C-alpha cells in the first residue's frame, strides 16, 4: 500500500506536543498591529493549543504525527 500524504499546509502550521495535543500559533498577528492595543499584541505572543474539535480534524491531516 502507498504511504498516506500529510497535508502540506498542516505540516507548516501545526505540531504535536509530547502528549499528543496540537500546538498552533496565535491568530491575529500578521498585519494591522497599529489598531490593536499593546495588551492584545502582548497576549498574542507565543503559541497555544488548538481546541479539541479542531485538533481532531488536524490530526487526520497529519497521519504520521
Order of strands, edge to edge, in the sheet holding 22-25?
Answer: 14-16, 22-25, 47-49
Mean pLDDT of the 24-53 span? 96
Candidates 62, 20, 23; CA nearest to 46 is: 23
Q: Where are the domains of the chain?
A: 8-60
pLDDT averaged over every residue in the chain: 96
**8-60 in CATH: which number?**
4.10.410.60
Instruction: Please give the average per-residue pLDDT across 3-7, as a whole number.
Output: 94
Query: What percentage of the chain exceeds 90 in pLDDT?
Result: 95
Q: How confident is the model at residue 48 (pLDDT cuts 50, 70, 90)?
A: very high
Q: Name the band, by pLDDT with cuts 50, 70 and 90, for residue 37.
A: very high
What percentage of the chain has pLDDT greater than the value 70?
A: 100
* pTM, full prediction: 0.83
Amino acid at each position: 500500500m502507498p504511504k498516506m500524504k500529510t497535508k502540506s499546509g498542516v505540516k507548516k502550521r501545526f505540531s504535536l506536543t509530547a502528549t499528543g495535543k496540537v500546538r498552533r500559533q496565535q491568530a491575529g498577528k500578521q498585519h494591522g498591529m497599529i489598531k490593536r492595543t499593546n495588551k492584545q499584541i502582548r497576549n498574542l505572543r507565543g503559541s497555544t493549543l488548538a481546541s479539541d474539535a479542531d485538533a481532531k480534524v488536524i490530526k487526520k491531516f497529519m497521519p504520521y504525527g
